[in-house]
Amino acid sequence: MRGVKQIVLLVVSLLIVLIFMFPFYWMLITSIKPISEVVTSPPIFITRNPTLDAYYTVFTKWSMGRYLLNSFIIAFPTTVITITLGVMAAYGLARFQIKGLRIFLLVLLVSMLLPDVSLVLPLFMIFSKIGLLGKFHSVILADVMLQLPFVILILRPYFSRIPKTLEDAARIDGCSFLGALLRIIIPLALPGIITASILTFLFTWGEFTFALTFLSRSEMQPITIGIYNTIGQYGIRYNLLMANSMIAIMPVVLIFIFFQRYIRGGLMVGGLKE
């Protein structure tokens, strides 16, 4: 009886998950259809003639590779800077008696909840004044701001959990301060640092608003803006649009598959980011 109930629950849940994930399947299948099967009535759910034509087109006739590279050029430094600042702050918050700790945490929480649109206009004007507009720096600087509060909030509990006596013991055994940090503290906080790095990279990979506004030259735009610009261009050639989208989410899917447990933990601990 118990077994039957479990099987029913499993089947129902699988169905729900399949329906929920269906938009991804539809993106995949559209991207590998020949154009003649894309706009049909009734729709074709399983193609008999899969083809990579659409991928070939978007890579050759359209600079997909460049957009991917740009996304890396933006997301990688953003992650490194955010994590460096975040680790320092989280360590400081966890290890030392800080006056105004609550206020600082409050500032972090509020800044995490503010919309990106509220920064885009003032930053646009400030960057244009100091000549950063149209350069990768502008987007990187803004993206770090978007992720930093969230990263500090994720990291802090990982550092708080490390007993202070451990660091003291290392110091007594002759470890320098930096040695203790690099050999004891950072390795113990590593799961948190990995989680924060993955999430920062993924959110920056998908960032839209700043890149849309600060980078007007197409050879500098990241993939999110690259595929946005094709919406009007490709019209109803949806196999091309879907091939674009597939390429844009590939890194996301790979990271998600390999690091799922880190991601889940991070989203929960970090105080819930959309």
**Least spacing, CB of residue 48 vs another protein, in Å:** 18
Which position among 48, 130, 174, 274 is part of the footprint of another protein (CB under 8 A)? Answer: 274
CB 167 within 8 A of CB 185: yes
Which position among 59, 63, 66, 92 is part of the footprint of another protein (CB under 8 A)? Answer: 92
Which string of b and e fits 81-106 if b means at least 16 CB within 10 Å?
A: bbbeebbebbbebbeeeeeeeeeebe
Which position among 35, 116, 186, 191 is part of the footprint of another protein (CB under 8 A)? Answer: 116
CB 82 within 8 A of CB 270: no
Residue placing its CB nearer to another protein in the complex, 52 or 106: 106
Burial class (CB in 10 A: 0-12, 13-18, 19+), 258: exposed
Which position among 73, 104, 175, 186 is part of the footprint of another protein (CB under 8 A)? Answer: 104
Residue placing its CB nearer to another protein in the complex, 59 or 259: 259
Cα 220-74-186 angle, rounded to 5 deg: 170
Residue placing its CB nearer to another protein in the complex, 49 or 260: 260
H/E stretch holding 114: none
170-199 binders of another protein (CB under 8 A): none
Candidates 62-70, 132-140, 187-195, 257-265 — which segment interacts with another protein by CB under 8 A?
257-265
200-219 binders of another protein (CB under 8 A): 202, 205-209, 212-213
Told to check if 118 binds another protein by CB under 8 A, we report yes
Q: How crowded is residue 5: how many other Cβ atoms within 10 Å of its Cβ?
A: 9
Told to check if 227 binds another protein by CB under 8 A, we report yes
Candidates 48-56, 60-68, 72-80, 83-91 — which segment interacts with another protein by CB under 8 A?
83-91
Told to check if 23 binds another protein by CB under 8 A, we report yes
Q: How crowded is residue 14: how many other Cβ atoms within 10 Å of its Cβ?
A: 10
Which position among 32, 83, 89, 196 is part of the footprint of another protein (CB under 8 A)? Answer: 89
Residue given tokens 């933006």 in the structure block: 74
**Least spacing, CB of residue 86 vs another protein, in Å:** 7
Candidates 47-55, 60-68, 138-146, 185-193 — which segment interacts with another protein by CB under 8 A?
138-146
d(CA 134, CA 217): 7
Told to check if 39 binds another protein by CB under 8 A, we report yes
CB 195 within 8 A of CB 265: yes
**Least spacing, CB of residue 7 vs another protein, in Å:** 8
Number of residues that bind another protein (CB under 8 A): 98
CB 87 within 8 A of CB 153: no
Task: Give the Å distances, CA to CA, from 270 to 4, 79, 119, 211.
Answer: 38, 16, 22, 25
Which position among 67, 139, 149, 220 is part of the footprint of another protein (CB under 8 A)? Answer: 149
Q: How crowded is residue 265: how many other Cβ atoms within 10 Å of its Cβ?
A: 15
